[in-house]
Amino acid sequence: MTLTTTDRYARSKELFAAAQAVIPGGVNSPVRAFRGVGGTPIFFASGSGAHVEDVDGNRYIDYVLSWGPLLLGHAHPAVIQAITEQAARGTSFGAPTALETELAELVIKLVPSIEQVRFVNSGTEATMSALRLARAHTGREKIVKFIGCYHGHADMLLVQAGSGVATLGLPDSPGVPASTAAATLTVEYNDLEAVTELFRVHGDSIAAVIVEPIAANMGFVLPEPGFLQGLRDLTRNHGTVLIMDEVMTGFRAAPGGAQSVWGIDPDLTCLGKVIGGGLPVGAYAGKKEIMQKVAPAGPMYQAGTLSGNPLAMAAGLAMLHTAFDSIDGAPTPFQRAAGRAQTLADGMRSLSEETGVPLQVGNVGTMFGFYFLKDAGAKVRSYAEAKQRVDADRFTRFFWAMCERGVYLAPSQFEAGFVSSAHDTVDIAVTLTAARESLLAARG
């Protein structure tokens, strides 16, 4: 008996109905609700390596990887062992441990622009704290963010944001005071002229510019040549703090983050995801002169009961050491994952030609993304262009066709994809076979 699509997700449907009774929208983070692709969100039961299994027993090759953290894939032995051993010694002390220093030292070694690190519990906390620090350091109030970029859900950043805000098509969020939003200036990504004009008018009152070095919360948009360096020059000339939000790109675009790919030296960097090995973590980090203003070294207050907790530190250390340490000169797991991402992206580019379905495919390190374009040859370099030029309906048909062929992608055209060191050549080949069939099915 062949299962119909509705049977395929019967248990997910049951669980979703139960969840909606007790959790707003049935999920604990909006993008998980599948509003971008319709249908019932898939509930997962387990993961191992590159694969996940949903509650109906369907297996998938996973390219969401918890939205980036799982650089080594699900339940990597080194990470599980680190968490298990630490848990047996205690999960949290509310006091310093050597693990926090060890992970901070490793982050500093990997990312040259960073001189000091403060650990927090999420990317949102990291960006929120970095902006408070920039305001404390400069004594200024205005901040600049880019339309379609997402930096977590702090009030001042829920202004023309990406990710779930873009997926749900929310103009912004109610509950954010107009006075707060007024201090957040927004401009299209890759529009250096517009940023230059902002600085001409507001330059000496701008505390910080916060930017995703790869705009991966509006899909996958690379910085145009000179864009990031232009931001560096403008902010340096006006005494403004440049914050690179590498919560997603950190240790995914390159071992030194996306900033190392484009050779940018930011004042502050926000991190998350990978550095917690799949456990709750975030960090803001950067130049010592600025970080020294953070309490108790300085007056800017920020705190957290579970900040730097031993489990996340142990998991992060295991993940980063495993990912970047080469054994006997063999490629590192990071390099393996980046190679697989390149093969996948090149395969998608070839399939776009072969099937005549226009795609804009991007990949850097272990991250990738693709847009279904309405017109061949169109370019997506900003959120405005993403909204105008992308065929979200065709993406939706592709998404579900891939699910049915055992490949799980981010359930939104405004998200990126991730590859782990557990994805092997067979996974990539199976994915591309499924993609060929799904592109043809999605042509409509």
Chain residues binding ligand KE4 by CB under 6 A are 29, 31, 67, 122-124, 127, 150-152, 163-164, 212, 217, 245, 247-248, 272, 282, 415
* 267 part of the active site: no
Between 29 and 237, whose beta carbon lies closer to ligand KE4?
A: 29
CA distance 102 to 62: 31
**Nearest residue relative to ligand KE4 (C-beta):** 123
Between 245 and 427, whose beta carbon lies closer to ligand KE4?
A: 245
CA distance 53 to 44: 6
Cα dihedral 105, 106, 112, 113 sign: negative
User: Which residues on adjacent β-strands are paired with residue 243?
Assistant: 210, 268
CA distance 119 to 140: 24
Least CB distance to ligand KE4 at residue 433 (A): 27
Helix pair 425-442, 392-404: axis angle to 10 deg:
130
Least CB distance to ligand KE4 at residue 162 (A): 7
Closest by Cα among 436, 221, 264 to 350: 436
* 145 part of the active site: no
* 245 part of the active site: yes
Set 13, 142, 145, 273: catalytic member: 273
Burial of 88 (0-12, 13-18, 19+ CB in 10 A): exposed
Between 100 and 245, whose beta carbon lies closer to ligand KE4?
A: 245
Set 56, 191, 245, 427: catalytic member: 245
Between 258 and 403, whose beta carbon lies closer to ligand KE4?
A: 258
Question: Do β-strands 241-245 and 184-188 pair in parallel, antiparallel, or remain unpaired?
Answer: unpaired
Least CB distance to ligand KE4 at residue 203 (A): 25
Least CB distance to ligand KE4 at residue 150 (A): 5
CA distance 127 to 284: 7
Q: Is 365 left (phi over 0), alpha (psi -120 to 50) or beta?
A: left
User: Which residues on adjacent β-strands are paired with residue 116?
Assistant: 286
Between 123 and 316, whose beta carbon lies closer to ligand KE4?
A: 123
CA distance 173 to 163: 13
Least CB distance to ligand KE4 at residue 1 (A): 36
Between 401 and 410, whose beta carbon lies closer to ligand KE4?
A: 410
Cα dihedral 417, 420, 422, 426 sign: positive
CA distance 319 to 356: 40
Least CB distance to ligand KE4 at residue 103 (A): 17
Active site residues: 150, 245, 273
